[in-house]
A and B are shown apart, each in its own frame.
Chain A
Amino acid sequence: MPQVEYQSISPADFFYRNREIAGFSNPSRATYTAVRELIENSMDACEVQQVPAEIFLRISEVPDNRNTETKIYVMRVEDNGTGLPAEHIPQAFGQVFYGSKYELKQARGTFGLGGTMAVLYGQITTHKPVQITSSTGGDIHEFVMNIDIQNNRANILKHTVKQNPSGWRGTAIELQMDGDYSRIMYRLIEYLKQTAMVNPYADITYIGPKGRLYKFERGTEKLPPLPVGVKPHPHGVDVEAFRRLISVTKSKNMKTFMMDNFQGVGNKTAERFLELAQISLKARPKMLSPEDILRIVRSTKEYGNFKRPDASCLSPIGEELMETGIKKELGLTDEDYIKVVTRKPSTYLGYPFIVEAAVATGKNVRKMHGSGITTYRFANRIPLLFDESSGVVWKAANKNINWKTYNVESDTSVVVAVHVCSTKIPYKSVGKEFMADQPEVEKEITNAIREAARGVRGFMSRRFRLAREKRRLNIFNKFLPKIAEFSGRLAEKDTPNIEPLLRVVSTDIHEVEKKLEEVPEIVEES
């Protein structure tokens, strides 16, 4: 009989073996993902700190004599965020599934995986340690470490503590990895640009391997409101989550348990819900049978009267900030049309989410985008760059909207940007690259785009008519002087003054503009 061997592997070992799941599938993609994970950690830290982010990224090539397509790069990311308390630094970057973002509120990070994966990938391809420098305002701690992959824990090589006279706060990470920059350069820069689009309060500086400097300057110092952690919504809870809550609860009876542990459950709701679940109000949580628990969890899906999930755990960009970001990164001016709509919170499967959509068109939009609909997709302020046409945004913008009703022709240049924020983004895969078409989410996205596109029709006809008026005025400007000149010569006199006539035609254009203001906007039924 063949011998079957059993063994267990650590989470770090699992992701070492299956790194493509986390986006580290090949050298170029790994380069992109590493940058992305580090930048997103930095952005999160700055928002928690509530400071306008100041992010510095440098990728430099380590010269060697290898004649391969891949190169060794040193990647350095610095931020002015919270910084990490020294005691958490080793685990935060040396242990898979260790993090501060498991709470129920919107953040870019969710898994406790990304930053660590970047470190892990660097380590396995270069055998070099990572260097982390961080301060929360006090001393500066510098760790040189690597990951003990089999045991999923940090292996500290050096820990230095320095004084911090200037009171610096933030984090700097420097790691080496074997990557392929040239193939991913375009996407990487696009990623930074789109990050700047939806984080207009961030200043991003990037120095590429060839020494080129890219700067994405902030357009505002304003930050969106900080999300607050919330209790789970009963609708989204499953048996395991429920069991865990019970194991730690101090509530004496089920009524108070429901009220204490779930959002939006008051006296009445608790009573009515427990009645539906056939659980006594006085039942002691710790005494519930497995059948009771299953019944309760099932009932949460049937009970139709819970309040909508609390959206204070979400942090939409907001109409003003999103407009600022898009205008600055796409180079739009007041001559272009742009409208941003932040929808009211909504839910799918018990998770709250908010959709924000921007629609832009105009001659500056055309400069960068050419004809047709260009979509930009964002989830929790992260740009999504891959697999565009499989995502829900593409579907909503291209299939659900009848652009003809907005006077948009096939050669019109239109930008549609959609931001979905949620405590749980409906990613279609673990790669965090595109969103699945959850019906509720799809509907919200479609409505948001429609709402943002409402003014396009008016803008189009206004622009069309203004252009016509301008052309008209130009014609007078062109010909009246000639008429004056030659009639003067013909009459053997001086050239008569045409200024009064030009004033007459140019006052007309203001009247036209006034009339254009009144162009009714259309409302498409959804």
Chain B
Amino acid sequence: MEKSLTQLGNLIYEQINNQEFPWIHMQSRSTDNILYDTNLRQYVLGPRMIRRHSRNIRHIRPFTQLIWTAWFAKELVTQKKTSTLRETYYSARGQRDIEYTDQQESDNIITDLEVALNRAREDFNIFPAERSAIFGDLTIEYTVPGYEGRRTNLTDHPDGIMIGPAITSSEFIETSADKVLVIEKGAMFNRLVEEKAHEKFNALLIQTAGQSPRSTRAIINRLYTDYNLPIYIFTDADPWGLHIAMVIISGSANAAHLRGLATPDAKWIGVLGSDILNYKLPTEPLTEYDHKRLFELKADPRYKDQFWQDELDILLKIEQKAELEAFSKYGLTYIVDEYLPAKLES
């Protein structure tokens, strides 16, 4: 990592020394260059390249920000420190002229750097603010400074362990689990821990806290690829829940330049539209916004399989949506005792 950052510095340095306005080549991230790759079953960047050129009056500011961010990343890497997107944004605050107007702008430059280096930001130690967590019988060994070689079992903490830089960079030593259960919400995750779902289903539990961060997706992918653990995703029955599952399965357009984040074989097991009817779940009507979103998803290439199209259609047809919590209607343990076993069986 350090080497590619230094290389980038050298490139710019040489250009300036040759009395050339520095510029770099990178893949375009504009929407028309984001394509859905049916083989990889995820979004990828197309062949179009763009030039970020400091001779261009509109490019020079983002170009400068990019070089600054590269320097900042190198500092992190060489000093073995980690930082968050938010911290990175704030670190630029002190730098006159480089300063970002908002975090969006900063995040965007970091993504540019990923594209330029062809590496994920986690590789240069910039992580999102974490809210997602993992729980279950998995022994890991830390590699972060000060903890090198230390081991821990992820059942040690009943609240689950936050998926941050330490977990992301750790070695996975062993696990007795034979599946991974991904849940969209913290409350349901806690319920499952309390009800010992990890033992009952012999599963690792992961909660994504809404749309899952990239590091969480990376771990899911790792558990699937390295340990062959099947992944089951469990979300609300509404367009937002569906899409949380879909991003884990097929990735996002924002990360089209990265590999190893999508897990195409992960399974969304519920709450399905048909579950609403079969289990007679308490529902809420779709809002106008839900409606609009459902139609957007129907047009999305990731949803082109019949299975997904049918699921979207059911919601549109019954005009209702349901949350995970809806199962509480049948008692607090119903979901662990009845629903999940049934789902995992099929």
Residues of chain A having any CB pair with chain B under 8 Å: 472, 475-476, 478-480, 482-484, 486-493, 496-498, 500-501, 504
User: Would you list which residues of chain B between 7 and 34 have a CB under 8 Å from chain A?
Assistant: 8-10, 12-13, 16-17, 19, 21-22
A489 and B54 in contact, given A479-B63, A501-B19, A501-B21 (Cβ under 8 angstroms)? no
The answer to whether B60 has its CB under 8 Å from any CB of chain A is: yes
- Are B68 and A493 within 8 A (Cβ)? no
A288 to chain B, nearest CB (A): 84
- Are A482 and B98 within 8 A (Cβ)? yes
- Are A482 and B64 within 8 A (Cβ)? yes
A497 to B97, CA, bound (A): 19
A489 to B98, CA, bound (A): 16
A493 and B13 in contact, given A475-B60, A479-B63, A501-B21 (Cβ under 8 angstroms)? yes
| Chain B contact residues: helix, strand, loop or mixed | helix
The answer to whether B162 has its CB under 8 Å from any CB of chain A is: no
A472 to B56, CA, bound (A): 10
Number of chain B interface residues as a range: 20 to 34
B6 to chain A, nearest CB (A): 6
The answer to whether B201 has its CB under 8 Å from any CB of chain A is: no
The answer to whether B57 has its CB under 8 Å from any CB of chain A is: yes
- Are A478 and B97 within 8 A (Cβ)? yes
Report the 7 A-B pairs with minimum CB-CB distance, sorted nearest first. Answer: A490-B9, A491-B9, A487-B12, A496-B16, A491-B13, A486-B71, A500-B19
Q: Which B-chain residue is minimally distant from A488 (CB atoms)? A: B13
Contact among B17, B64, B71, B98 for A490, CB-based, below 8 A: B71
- Are A483 and B9 within 8 A (Cβ)? no
A489 to B5, CA, bound (A): 11
B112 to chain A, nearest CB (A): 15
Using Cβ atoms and an 8 Å threshold, which residues of chain B touch A476?
60
Q: Which B-chain residue is minimally distant from A498 (CB atoms)? A: B16
Q: Which B-chain residue is minimally distant from A489 (CB atoms)? A: B71
Q: Which A-chain residue is minimally distant from B16 (CB atoms)? A: A496
A491 and B54 in contact, given A482-B97, A483-B63 (Cβ under 8 angstroms)? no
The answer to whether B67 has its CB under 8 Å from any CB of chain A is: yes
Using Cβ atoms and an 8 Å threshold, which residues of chain B touch A472?
57
The answer to whether B247 has its CB under 8 Å from any CB of chain A is: no
The answer to whether B150 has its CB under 8 Å from any CB of chain A is: no
A488 to B5, CA, bound (A): 12
Offer 20 A-B interface pairs, CB within 8 angstroms, sorted by A.
Answer: A478-B97, A479-B60, A479-B64, A483-B16, A483-B60, A486-B9, A486-B68, A487-B9, A487-B13, A489-B71, A490-B9, A490-B10, A490-B12, A490-B70, A491-B10, A492-B9, A493-B9, A496-B17, A497-B16, A501-B19
Using Cβ atoms and an 8 Å threshold, which residues of chain A touch B22?
483, 487
- Are A483 and B8 within 8 A (Cβ)? no
A498 to B21, CA, bound (A): 9
Q: Which A-chain residue is minimally distant from B61 (CB atoms)? A: A479
- Are B16 and A501 within 8 A (Cβ)? yes
User: Would you list which residues of chain B between 222 and 245 have a CB under 8 Å from chain A?
Assistant: none
B211 to chain A, nearest CB (A): 33
Using Cβ atoms and an 8 Å threshold, which residues of chain A touch B17?
496-497
The answer to whether B257 has its CB under 8 Å from any CB of chain A is: no
The answer to whether B302 has its CB under 8 Å from any CB of chain A is: no
B293 to chain A, nearest CB (A): 40
Q: Which B-chain residue is minimally distant from A487 (CB atoms)? A: B12
User: Would you list which residues of chain B between 183 and 222 have a CB under 8 Å from chain A?
Assistant: none
The answer to whether B74 has its CB under 8 Å from any CB of chain A is: yes
A411 to B61, CA, bound (A): 31
Using Cβ atoms and an 8 Å threshold, which residues of chain A touch B95?
482
- Are B64 and A483 within 8 A (Cβ)? yes
Additional 18 contacts, C-beta under 8 A, given A479-B63, A490-B5, A490-B10: A472-B57, A475-B57, A479-B60, A482-B64, A482-B68, A482-B97, A483-B12, A483-B64, A483-B67, A487-B16, A490-B8, A490-B74, A491-B6, A491-B9, A493-B13, A496-B16, A497-B17, A498-B16
B49 to chain A, nearest CB (A): 21
A496 to B11, CA, bound (A): 12
A486 and B70 in contact, given A479-B60, A480-B54, A501-B16 (Cβ under 8 angstroms)? yes
Q: Which B-chain residue is minimally distant from A492 (CB atoms)? A: B6
A484 to B16, CA, bound (A): 7
Using Cβ atoms and an 8 Å threshold, which residues of chain A touch B54?
479-480, 483
Using Cβ atoms and an 8 Å threshold, which residues of chain B touch A491?
6, 9-10, 12-13
A306 to B67, CA, bound (A): 82
